[in-house]
Amino acid sequence: MSQSTLREMRPFDTVIRRARWFDGTGAPSEVRDVGLRNGRVESVSAQPLDTTGCPDVVDADGLWLLPGMIDIHTHYDVEVLQGPALVESLRHGVTTVLLGSCSLSTVHVDSVDAGDLFGRVEAIPRQHVIEHVQEQKTWHDAASYVEALERLPLGPNLAAFLGHSDVRTATMGLDRATRDDVVPTEAELRRMEQLLESALAAGFVGMSAQQLLFDKLDGDLCRSRTLPSTFARSREMRRLRSILRRRDRVLQAGPDASHPHTILVQALHSIGLPRLGRRPLRTSLLSAADLKAIPFVIHLMRGLAGTVNRLGADFRWQHLPVPFEVYADGVDLVIFEEFGTGAAALHLSEKIARDELMRDPAYRAAFRKDYEAKYSPRVWHRDFFDAEIVACPDADVVGKSFGQVGVERGGQHPVDAFLDLVIEHGTAVRWRTTISGHRPQVLRKIAAEKGVQMGFSDAGAHLRNMAFYNFGLRLLKHVRDAERAGEPFLTMERAVHRMTGELADWYGIDAGHLRLGDRADLMLVDPERLDDSLEEYAEEPCAQYGGLSRMVNRNDATVPLVMVGGRAVWRDGAATEALGQERTGRFLRAGTRSAEPRTTPSAQVQQAQARMGAPTPGG
């Protein structure tokens, strides 16, 4: 008896009935029964599947069945060590996350250096970073790091970048790696090359680098210096890029926004020269954002991607497809790092010293000058009239902006109103503002651009002020709302593809599709619950960080089921028993696929229709 006959005779492990099925390729969606067996998609049928003996039959009439989404930009490197379920992403249908962004990873550095690298930049308490790495580290290189991850009861799948700051620190020491007067020796350059080669051989998707100058180190030894990656000179970067280009792996980079020409340089480096045997360098740059501070810059970004890709580059912008709203406790917010007086306050870790600084008339005058420097390169729009106080022991100021408070206090400058409240209440004064993504019509244009990738959630970082765990659902809502308003900008199939198969294919990982033979990483979405609940925030203690309250999204009715490898990890608003106890996820090695999908004639027709731009059935 053939293996195919045996498969047909065995009951399915799960049957999902009458769902609107999206396969992650952009092909038209259709109502189908989908049968899962041994962790894979075994059948996709227009007719009802036989559920005899099947222990898990899911009635999905009216629901959408999607491949699990991919989050290409997270900082879960520390949290995954003691909380490998990563439930905050899973509950929103994200089944694959990429570690190692912004030049930061924990592959080679020791625990104290990891604390200095992650603590201030990513707003993760330094002492917890040190404890987690110290307690869990059993690895000594990239291959053993992967093995250590695979011994954990992973919830989602993982893929990883190797962080350039990690490699530089491990090779040169944190002090030498963050000094302008130190250049790596030839032996040190060779060592960095070896570490990168070893990581790529272990299946890493590439390397992340950083030139952004307002990301600062924590700790005492090198406090307030910029990340080690920012000190790399052209020779070092050229040698590391050549390895990525030769191996056809990805460079994730953050340019120095204070020197806009670095953006152009990064884009030009992506161009290949086929006649000279030089491949394009797959480059993912941070980030395409419609900044309030510089409204026109987004159009230059869009134009740059299109231009260099026509010249033979393989260049993408990372893009967060939702308004970039940030919260802050007092002055604790990374955007203050971008100007001198803000960075001076964050340099001081003790409240008493900060308060003394903020009372100083000379400091206040300098802060006002920085605040009013409207035309310097920046991310924050620096408008305290556009900064709402959401919590404060003084109830009279809640719901007002700092600018309004200043007006009510006799015409006080907004900076002085802000500093007075911070001195009086410290981190108990909580406020929010939207930095970018505030114009829906521009978000729509960016979401349809070929030169952008959906992502940049920062999941796992910035616990008290920003991370966008449900960004994918919010894009689906935006697309659905536009369809209903008669102003479509993407088909729903294309929107799903942008957050699943498109990303998987570009990064070379086995994820993002839901065809015959594909691994059953999937989610169900209730389209009627793509509603305003997606835009709300809640706070929940994070066990991995000593119960620190973390900002999260809570829209559990929108995603009734999430499966990883055919195992339910989230169902009806709660984690399943398997999550955190058993390993459902795995480490995805770039360029490898665990099994080839089997394409049915029907699917071939669908894919052909999608390529020809056929209309989407089912609206």
Q: Which residue has the tokens 């080839």?
A: 596
* Residues whose CB is less than 8 angstroms from the CB of residue 377 and which lie 6 or more positions away in sequence, other chains included: 257, 258, 259, 260, 294
pLDDT tens string 485-510? 999 999 999 999 999 999 999 999 99
* pLDDT of res. 53: 97
Q: Which amino acid is at 278?
A: R
pLDDT at residue 189, as a whole number:
98
* Amino acid occupying residue 276: L
Q: What is the mean pLDDT of residues 80-87?
A: 96
pTM: 0.93
Task: Delineate the domains of the chain, giving CATH numbers in brackets.
Answer: 3-67+513-527+555-611 (2.30.40.10), 329-433 (no CATH)
Cis peptide leading into 287, omega within 30 of 0?
Answer: yes
pLDDT at 41 exceeding the cut of 70:
yes
- Residue tagged 């729509």 (tokens): 444
Q: If residue 388 lies in a helix (H) or strand (E), which one and from where to where?
A: strand 388-391
d(CA 322, CA 438): 8
* Residue (of 205, 209, 193) closest to 160 by Cα position: 205
- Model confidence over 533-587: pLDDT tens digits? 999 999 899 988 989 999 999 999 999 999 999 999 999 999 999 898 899 999 9
Residue 100 has what DSSP assignment? -
- Cα→Cα distances 85→138, 434, 444, Å: 19, 30, 33
CA dist 258 and 399 (Å) reads 33
Predicted pLDDT of residue 595? 65
pLDDT, position 341:
96
Burial per residue of 479-509, b for 16 or more beta-carbon CB atoms within 10 angstroms, e otherwise: bbebbeeeeebbbbbbbbbbbbbbbbebbbb
CA distance 384 to 368: 11
Packing angle, helices 142-150 and 186-201, rounded to 10: 30
- CA pseudo-torsion sign 574, 580, 584, 586: positive
Q: Which pLDDT value is given to residue 596?
A: 65
DSSP designation for 386: G
What are the strands, taking DSSP E only, across 166-277? 206-208, 250-253
More confident call, 616 vs 439 = 439
DSSP 278: B
Percentage above 70 pLDDT, the chain: 95
Q: Distances in Å between the alpha carbon of 606 and those of 44, 357, 464, 515, 593? A: 13, 64, 44, 12, 23
Higher pLDDT, residue 557 or 257: 557
Contacts of 525 (CB under 8 A, 6+ apart): 63, 64, 66, 93, 473, 476, 558, 559
Residue-wise pLDDT tens digits, 184-217: 999 999 999 999 999 999 999 999 999 988 899 9
pLDDT in tens, 90-101: 999 999 999 999
Distant-in-sequence, close-in-space partners of 485: CB < 8 Å, separation ≥ 6: none
Mean pLDDT (the chain) is 92
Token pair, residue 404, equals 């309004």
3-state per-residue secondary structure call for 535-600: HCCEEEEEHHHCCEEEEECCCHHHCCEEEECCEEEEECCEECCCECCECCCCECCCCCCCCCCCCC
Residue 277: predicted pLDDT: 85
Listing DSSP states for 232-251 in one string gives: --HHHHHHHHHHHHHHT-EE
**CA distance linking residue 474 with residue 437, whole number of Å:** 13
pLDDT surpasses 60 at 231: yes
Which of 93, 86, 51 shows the shortest CA–CA distance to 70?
93
Nearest to 618 by CA among 66, 67, 64: 64
Find out whether 252 and 286 touch, Cβ atoms under 8 Å: yes
The answer to whether the beta carbons of residues 185 and 571 sit under 8 Å apart is: no
> Which residue is it, tokens 């497809």?
321
pLDDT, tens only, 101-140:
999 999 999 999 999 999 999 999 999 999 999 999 999 9
pLDDT band at residue 262 under the 50/70/90 scheme: confident
Q: Is the dihedral of CA 458, 461, 462, 465 positive or negative?
A: positive
Q: What is the DSSP letter of 577?
A: T
Report H helices in 47-141.
79-82, 87-90, 111-118, 126-136
**Does 601 score more than 50 pLDDT?**
no
Torsion of CA 187, 193, 198, 204, to 10 degrees: 150
Q: What are the tens digits of pLDDT across the range 135-192?
A: 999 999 999 999 999 999 999 999 999 999 999 999 999 999 999 999 999 999 999 9
pLDDT tens-digit profile of 445-473? 999 999 999 999 999 999 988 789 999 99
